[in-house]
Structure 1
Amino acid sequence: MRWCNSNIKNRNAGHTYTGKPIYILSLRAEDLNGIWKGTLTQGPGGCFPRYFLELQINFSGDRVTGRAYDYYDKTHYVKMSFTGRYNARTHRLVIIENKVLEAKIPQDCLPCIKTYDLNYTTTGSEEQLSGDWKGVFSEKNTVCPPGKIQLKKETVSDFPADVDQPDTLALLQSSLHLQPREKELVKTVTVGSPQIKIELYDNGEIDGDTVTVLINGKLLLYRQMLTDKPLTIDFNAFPSTEYELVMYANNLGTIPPNTALMMVTAGDRKFEVYLSSSEQKSAAVKFVYKP
């Protein structure tokens, strides 16, 4: 969990690169997008000598973003957001955690915000990330005992697949209480690209329909009116992971029910899906990315 005991002695803190340049390349054979799972070790002074680690990596060009879960078990974990960059020439990945999103750990432990220095390798069909980490406590400027990381690319996550959400909507959702409604699955869309673009239009006459939209429980649109101009959502999908979009009707407009045309773009393919929500049921669409 990158948790450390709070009685570690003060040392010089900070994150530094090793001096190796990180190049931006136009061609790459590797695709780091997806779920990476394995172990993280920590030197003497940490709460535990060994943790499980899961990285949910969104990969675009040479840049990565995502979520890190390090955990002793699924009820005791630290969830972090991170950014980073991958050098396709040297197969080196540098990740820097930037925010503690959630911490369910013992009271005498503290989250440690880390920098990862990892190398990408393959053994047969198995993809691996391995290397070192170092970090500092999230609450004070002291160094955590560093350690090693060993990960493999997997298809199943131990935690819900996260979807990026603006901070303003995250704050709004924390105080929002939508009335529970039955969900009606309209369609399951299988795509061949991880980058998915969703555009929502009023289906037919513009009559004042407003909607709230969630993906995997994350609020991404709130009380937005459907018109002939699209309401747009972009998100990244992990292989073989299910994503559920729910369209919640805030009203029924002047011509019930609340209806929308959804245009889905993934790579060079486009899909049309027609949605209808009422005060009793919310329309749902599932997405699965299969490379």
Structure 2
Amino acid sequence: MKLPLSKLLLFLLPAVFPLIGMGQNLTGIWRGYFITESGENYRLEFQVQQAKSKTVTGVSYSYLDTRFYGKATMTGNFAIKNNSFTIQELRTVEVKNMGGGATCLMNYKFAYARSGREEFLEGSYVGKTEDRANPKNNGKWGDCGGGTVYLRKVTTSDFYVEPFLRNNKNITSTDTPVTKTTVKPASKTPLATKKKTTTKPVAKAPVKKTTTPPVISKRSTIDSPVPKTITPVIVEKKADLPPYQAPQVTRSRKNELTTALTVTNEVITIRLYDNGEIDDDTISVYLDGRLIIASKRLSASPITYTLKMDENNPEHTLVMVAENLGRIPPNTSLMIVQDGDKRYQVSITSTEQKNAMVRFRYQKAGN
């Protein structure tokens, strides 16, 4: 029997759309990051399994480094009609928070998207305080802040791969955390302090203050003139301070100001991590135009630099230059600045067209 084209299309469409829906399966590993309302940036990983009913269960890991991580069980639902995915954490099963503070559970709302072979989840979350000893006393959604979330489907995990994913041929099973990070690498941080209303990971770890002996500048001494002899004083240019020209890579690309920080300690510590998935991003860093870090690969272990400040030289500029774009452009990093008891987090993005610039200004405490 020959059908008119219009009727043939009507006949085929119901058969095609279920096939499209069937291709959207969330089962697997999703990795990325979330940004709190206060601008702090934390890594996030989901390991989930989707049932035929579109119910989704699994675990989440949120983390900053080995001092801050947490693992929670989750349950949710995937609505294929509008590609929306909601999932919430039920309880934390493992927490490492050296800074103390409350833990927070998170409720996520995502939009699912596919681009070629890549799959993404993008959305938002709200948090609530958790009473691990008595869950009946948990807070309400929103009392632990909120923010935005970005995840990408990947085939490897920084953590122990859950049993329900072990038989998935597309997933690399690692019984132990990635070697770049210590056991259970910088993982989950449901550590959110209520003070900052940042979700799980917002907890401050005690910071070791490193005291650096003051730098005593060497001054040339002038001997008393020999009697009856006038000796002219010759001022020599210091060899270590020649005039210099900014490197080509910082002149040929646009230097875009990411943020300006005012610090109150004479010694601050700067740590640089890969932001999101570790994808071989490599950077060089210039301090006031001079190279201080050359072609270093970003990872879950920080690249650390100590910056000394003083009232005579209160302003410094760091420029982060992308030496490559990694496997997933652009080149992104997370900068953690420790200023005594204060801690700042800065998300850095650099490309082949622009460098990321961060300015530091020293202001003595109490001034």
- Smaller-chain TM-score range? 0.3 to 0.5
Query: Which structure has the larger Rg over C-alpha atoms?
Result: 2
Structure in which a larger fraction of residues adopt strand: 1
| Structure 1 length-normalised TM | 0.47
Q: Name the structure where helix makes up a greater proportion of residues.
A: 2
